[in-house]
Structure 1
Amino acid sequence: MKPKRRRFVRWLGYAMAAVLVIAIGAGGYVWVSAQRTMNAMYEPLPSTKWVDPVFETEDEPEILPTNESAGPEEDIEEPAMEEEGEPPVVPITAIDRNPAEPLKISEEDVARLRSPSTANKEPFTMLLLGVDERPGDRGRSDTMILLTVQPRTGQAIALSIPRDTRVLMPNSGKYDKINHAYAFGGSALSVEAVERAFGVPIAFYMKTNMGGLIDIVDTLGGVDVNNERAFNYEGHSFPKGEQHLNGEEALAYSRMRKEDPQGDFGRTQRQRQILSDAVDRVAGAGTVTKLPKLLSHLSEYVRTNLTSGQMIDLITKYRSTSGNVQIMYLQGQGKMINGIYYYTITAEERRRIQSEMLKGLNSN
């Protein structure tokens, strides 16, 4: 596996694990602080009924280059399409003859995947959210990554979901950008929207407020990144090449997208650089004295429905997956619909994502 992929998964699924491992090793006071932090981060999701996905086929609006920057935030919603017929019930590992139809998952499989036993090393799917919350504004999810983990094979699959991806919203039945789900209904609606869009039951989520990045990075003494393109953003200048960033610089570096030819994909890559280096620093030998302050920031800026026991299970029983991650990219097209930019994906692409992720979860 390439070094970039190994670094990617370090922050992707196990950033918290690195913090907690050091906390446990430090013993006593720090362990008590870690326990309090885990409890403070706990924020359960409301129970929702599983709804079988429908991978609808859309009309063909004006097509834009895929690296087009996102347009205005004010979206004009489209009416929902009618569901036509019921797909056949098949095992989740099966591939039927119609690549545009979603696999229908049995109730038993849905229950197992939504409520896995981490103590028994059962596979699971997690949605990672990077949100930009500010005082008086819940904000939107700038980063959405769907991660499936199969500890028995030591494999994982990570899918980065562009923020402008056009989906049917579960709360309204109308089309909108997937990152608006967080603005409408927080983490719960984000999880539901991703489940409906790709047909994969989600067990856990972890939300990080990117605004807290300033405090975390400054506590760590900054981060090192390797910038691929020179740019200026929010009063900061970022030349091409390796550089050291403080907290404010790291936040600006992670937010820019409109000047990036790769749009959301480029921004996501920069965020990975920052978080990957931050995790490396957390795992460093000199971080123990900084842990109380780091734990305080984590309790303020991170929320998850993982219990403290489940987090410890991830540390002790799931670490083998960190070295074997398949990175998936969502293949779509940029389109203007009623004057609004969207990243659209076909029914066949949704089915491809669903099939690959369910196969990974079902491996034994």
Structure 2
Amino acid sequence: MLGIGCGSLLALALVFVAIFAVWFGGLSSSMQVDDEQERQDLEDSLADTTSDSDAFYTLILGRDARPGDDASRSDVIMLARIDPKAGTVSLISIPRDTMVTINGETQKINAAYAFSGAGGAVRCISQFAGVDITHYVSIDFEGLVEVVDMLGGVWVDVPESFSTGTYTFEAGEQLLTGDEALAFARDRYHVSGGDFGRAQAQRILVEAIVRQVLASSPIELPGLISKLASCITTDLSAVQLVELAQQFVGKDLTMYSAICPSYTLYQDGVSYVGTMFDEWRRMMQLTDAGLDPNSETAEIPEAQQADTELGAASNSPAPRDYQGLAENAMTTDDVAAAS
């Protein structure tokens, strides 16, 4: 039997390290924003990653362009508060038609990306939520089909029974294939609450994928990371994504899901979504404190009460006297109750 010296073993180990470094480097490059100017603007718009707090905010945008859709506008907008130390993730949907002011004009919030790219979206949503955003992720929902199939499907608790296209979903927990998951997450015509219902489905799907990726074996992770890299754009490197996932391994993950309290609104013949400002402020105070954003009984800590920017939506021109308008409109309360 031939022996292998310590020097040879060290050399072999260094070769493998170099191979993985190149592989991770290639993945990281593939996930970057392509346009150099937009990438620099995004970096300038993101908050400093060094903070006294372990928790941080990430903006998640999703584009699911289909024939007739405006591919330059973000179809999915979520604000995620991630706290690896506590093992907690909060996903907050912001309706894409939310009324805001951009460049001095009334616009829908999903236009921020169309006007100024990823950096513009970060600045707009940071002001709307009243928090610093540290990281950015853009998801191609079509690409998630293969990720879901690689996971062997995802378990989803469907809030209500409905049919869309060739797919029929029954209320309750079920295993969805990639194509089924995409159909579930994109329908807004056959579910309660319309676009608000679709936003709920998108959060349910993202949560299901996160849970199953974190439950994957170390052998499966490289392939999953490679596939995820093909359908996301982010400021994070592949190494950072792996390190972030590792911080949640072995912890009892808590995921909260909510949507900015809103109602449908027409102004000058244009359909918008108006913000329920008092409810939004409370939701962001609870979220920032790491509490359930939907709680009606939790007490808000003094630090969040004193932060006047949290949930202030200072860039929204929607009516501040909104109670009467909301009573006669579709609201975020009209979605099917999730179990």
**TM-score category of the 2 structures, normalised to the smaller one:** 0.5 to 0.7
| TM superposition shift of 1:269 | 2.9
Report the equivalent of 1:131: 63
Report the equivalent of 2:96: 163
353-362 or 226-235, which moves further after superposition? 353-362
SS at match of 2:160: coil
SS at match of 2:188: coil
**For 1:38 and 1:145, how far apart are their aligned partners in 2?**
22
Quick check: 1:131–1:140 contact (8 Å CA) kept in 2?
A: yes
Report the equivalent of 1:180: 111
Among candidates 41, 44, 59, match of residue 46 of structure 1:
41
Cα distance, 1:151–1:143 mapped onto 2, change above 3 Å: same
Cα distance, 1:271–1:340 mapped onto 2, change above 3 Å: same
Report the equivalent of 2:80: 147
Pairwise mapping of residues 97-116 of structure 1 onto structure 2 (< 5 A)? 114-116=47-49
Pair 1:300 & 2:230 matched: yes
Report the equivalent of 1:192: 123
Q: Which amino acid aligns with 2:64?
A: D
**For 2:279 and 2:24, how far apart are their aligned partners in 1?**
41
Quick check: 1:200–1:357 contact (8 Å CA) kept in 2?
A: no
| TM superposition shift of 1:219 | 2.6
SS at match of 1:288: coil
Report the equivalent of 1:314: 244
Report the equivalent of 1:12: none
Quick check: 1:230–1:240 contact (8 Å CA) kept in 2?
A: yes
Cα distance, 1:237–1:219 mapped onto 2, change above 3 Å: same
Deviations 1:269-303 (A, max 9, x none): 323333333344434556835843x3343222111
Report the equivalent of 1:237: 168
- TM-score, with length taken from structure 1: 0.61
**For 1:248 and 1:331, how far apart are their aligned partners in 2?**
30
**For 1:165 and 1:32, how far apart are their aligned partners in 2?**
42
**For 1:359 and 1:280, how far apart are their aligned partners in 2?**
22
**For 1:226 and 1:149, how far apart are their aligned partners in 2?**
22
Among candidates 262, 277, 283, match of residue 332 of structure 1:
262
**For 2:170 and 2:75, how far apart are their aligned partners in 1?**
23
| TM superposition shift of 1:327 | 4.6
SS at match of 2:139: strand
Quick check: 2:151–2:213 contact (8 Å CA) kept in 1?
A: yes
Quick check: 1:121–1:151 contact (8 Å CA) kept in 2?
A: no
- Structure 1: which 5+ runs fail to align? 1-26, 51-112
**For 1:250 and 1:152, how far apart are their aligned partners in 2?**
30
Q: Which amino acid aligns with 1:249?
A: E
Quick check: 2:85–2:247 contact (8 Å CA) kept in 1?
A: no
Quick check: 2:214–2:249 contact (8 Å CA) kept in 1?
A: no
**For 1:121 and 1:199, how far apart are their aligned partners in 2?**
16
Report the equivalent of 1:225: 156
Highest RCO, 1 vs 2 (Cα 8 Å, sep ≥ 6): 1
**For 1:140 and 1:230, how far apart are their aligned partners in 2?**
29
**For 1:321 and 1:286, how far apart are their aligned partners in 2?**
15
| TM superposition shift of 1:252 | 1.2
Report the equivalent of 2:324: none
Measured on the aligned residues, the alpha-carbon RMSD in Å equals 3.9
Quick check: 2:154–2:177 contact (8 Å CA) kept in 1?
A: yes
**For 2:220 and 2:192, how far apart are their aligned partners in 1?**
41
Q: How many residues align?
A: 272
- TM-score, with length taken from structure 2: 0.64
Q: Which amino acid aligns with 1:255?
A: R
